[in-house]
Amino acid sequence: MDMTVVIKEKREPGFKITRKKIPNELKSNEVLIKVLATSICGTDVHIYKWDRWSQGRIKPPLTVGHEFCGEVIEVGSEVRKVKVGDVVSAETHIVCGECEFCRRGEYHICKNTQIIGVDTDGCFAEYAKMPADNLIINSKDIDPKYLSIQEPLGNAVHTMLHFDIIGKTVAVVGCGPIGLMGVNVAKAVGASKVIAIEVNDYRINLAKELGADVVINPLKENVIERVLEETNGMGVDVVGEFSGNKTAIEQAFKYVKAGGKMSMLGIVDSNIDIDLSNDIVFKGITIYGVVGRIMFDTWHQVTGLVQSGKLDLEKIVTHTFKLTDIEEGMKVMMSGNSGKVVLIP
């Protein structure tokens, strides 16, 4: 039997809707899933645009997509973790389990990581095949479109909760979909003041709706001065960096408090100029690079937050399209005027 899929067909911009055979020939550790909802990631935008990163990483033809929720319809002979009928999402990093990092439990930095929808066929499809070890069992009481965004929500949770932010002042730099989740997470867990920094008017308004106490537009205000004003001249306790913007990052080193913390998720495309002595060493700050999600501690945190009802998932998911309307979904995502964009097969 065939299914509808979205693929990267050639080494050029764009995606193609086509038909492929349902991947129902399972290895003993694999599971076949009927995809109920799948969401568009910034990574998918990179692949769609066929930028420098994707040209060096993607090997067409490839079924794209890696964020999803679906129902298990078949399991391999040795699978015990999940059963037919379970509603699941997936950790998208497939790790080797054998390298130095895996053997000491640091799976998120496995040197042999393969990513679903990047290195292996993904979930912009009616059905997807996944290793059972990567699956997270979801509550069936939650709308699948919200469950489909847990992977990027995990990035936000990892970024915001690596350092203690309860009762702390927090800056969220860049309010794309994951940054917006970061705002919502920080507010949900009890940050005392959440300062969002964003230039897009749509996302500025959404950041306010998701709990930002203050939103600063760098195009209209001096960010460093405003952050210091909002923190009695001290600076913020914790920075969550989601933008990957050179200027925004350089400014963050100026307004993070002495002894403060910085979690950095955004990917930059140019070198950052830092006053290492004054802004890191003498300030005594701590910098943490965020890679994916801690497997599987972050997922336990995500599951707890989703099931707690404390997150505004209905505001984070701003657009829903049919899978076959992928072009429209990509246009909305690339416009910047959206939160998470979900596709329904």
User: What is the tens place of the pLDDT at every residue in 269-303?
Assistant: 889 999 999 999 999 999 999 999 999 999 999 99
**Whole-number Å distance between alpha carbons of 204 and 70:** 32
The per-residue pLDDT for range 241-278, each reduced to its tens digit, is 999 999 999 999 999 999 999 999 999 988 999 999 99
User: pLDDT tens digits for 133-176?
Assistant: 999 999 999 999 999 999 999 999 999 999 999 999 999 999 99
Tens-digit pLDDT profile for residues 160-172: 999 999 999 999 9
Report the alpha-carbon distance of residue 274 to residue 272 in Å, rounded: 6
Contact of 177 with 316, CB cutoff 8 Å: yes
pTM for this entry = 0.96
So what's the pLDDT on residue 233? 98
pLDDT digits (tens, 9 = 90+) for 23-82: 999 999 999 999 999 999 999 999 999 999 999 999 999 999 999 999 999 999 999 999
Q: What is the per-residue pLDDT for 226?
A: 98
The reported pLDDT for the residue numbered 32 is 98
Say which of 43, 92, 169, 298 is annotated catalytic.
Answer: 43
- The answer to whether 204 touches 180, Cβ cutoff 8 Å, is no
Mean pLDDT estimate for the chain: 97
43 catalytic residue (yes or no): yes
pLDDT at 269: 83
In the block, residue with structure tokens 């998918």: 44
Ordered domains of the chain (ranges, CATH): 2-148+312-344 (3.90.180.10), 154-289 (3.40.50.720)
Could you count the other beta carbons within 10 Å of the beta carbon of residue 29?
A: 16
- Arithmetic mean of pLDDT, 332-345: 97
pLDDT score of 80: 96
Return the pLDDT at 290.
98
Determine how many CB atoms are found less than 10 A away from the CB of residue 45.
Answer: 14
Cis peptide before 61 (omega within 30 of 0): yes
Active site residue 46: yes
Residue tagged active-site, from 4, 18, 38, 46: 46
The phi-psi region of residue 340 (left if phi > 0; otherwise alpha if psi is between -120 and 50; otherwise beta) is beta
Cis bond before residue 296 (omega within 30° of 0): yes
